[in-house]
Amino acid sequence: MKKENLKVLVVLTSHDQLGNTGAKTGFWVEEFAAPYYVMADAGVAITIASPKGGQPPIDPKSALPDFQTAATKRFDADMELQNKLANSIVLTEVDEQDYDAIFYPGGHGPLWDLANDKTSIALIESFWKHNKPVAAVCHAPGVFRFVKNVDGIPLVQGKKVTGFSNSEEEAVQLTDVVPFLVEDELVKLGGHYSKAADWSSHVVKDGKLITGQNPGSSEETAKELLALLEQ
């Protein structure tokens, strides 16, 4: 398949409340921006969707100086992408048949909405059923919580996976705030979970399933997805 004909659906959270802390959450800018540019620069057509449509909430912490990267700086100066992001389409209007792969950036938001979103769950199952790549980074592998494969067993069961580790959640002091821990959930579902040192890039591919551990893994996760699509 020629890469300039490829179409990828990027699904972002619509959830902006960090539990009952009163603090805001959403998606992590790096985990959206880095994969977006990896794919867009390779000629991939990208559609952005979210449960509520419109502007998906950005985790305010991800916009702090400490977390800026070349991709986030490019995003900050990219009015065209910011406008596209502000007009994300409603997830229920998405048709799996229109895309070659699906990608989920993280941030804590997805743990509350996308992990339980029936439309998102059905979409992932449809992509999987039709042998299309499914990728998620950092907290986003949590969206597989209720996803089943065609045999009715958890999608991640028996598969090599990664995602935000318990020790990383502990480091950001949100272990008792999140509705579930990504590492624990993937293990509970029967996934063969692996992790690297906290904050280092770690990406795992098992067939058409690609997962990345943390924000530092987002670019590599997208590169693995691109490689898979270009085969």
pLDDT digit of tens for each residue in the chain (231 aa)?
A: 455 589 999 999 999 999 999 999 999 999 999 999 999 999 999 999 999 999 999 999 999 999 999 999 999 999 999 999 999 999 999 999 999 999 999 999 999 999 999 999 999 999 999 999 999 999 999 999 999 999 999 999 999 999 999 999 999 999 999 999 999 999 999 999 999 999 999 999 999 999 999 999 999 999 999 999 998
Query: Rounded CA gap, 130 and 138, in Å?
Result: 25
Q: What is the pLDDT of residue 164?
A: 98
Q: What is the pLDDT of residue 1?
A: 47
Q: Token match 């893994």: residue? A: 217
Backbone angles phi and psi of 154, in degrees to 5 = -55, 135
Interacting residues of 117 by C-beta distance below 8 A, sequence separation 6+: 51, 91, 143
Contacts by 118-127, CB closer than 8 A, 24 or more apart: 119/51, 119/91, 119/92, 119/94, 120/11, 120/51, 120/91, 121/146, 121/147, 123/9, 123/11, 123/91, 123/94, 123/96, 124/155, 125/149, 125/155, 126/96, 127/96, 127/99, 127/101, 127/102
Query: Rounded CA gap, 158 and 173, in Å?
Result: 30
- Give start and end residues of each alpha helix (H) in the chain: 29-41, 70-76, 79-86, 109-112, 118-129, 166-171, 182-188, 218-229
Is residue 35 within 8 Å of residue 101, measured between CB atoms?
Answer: no
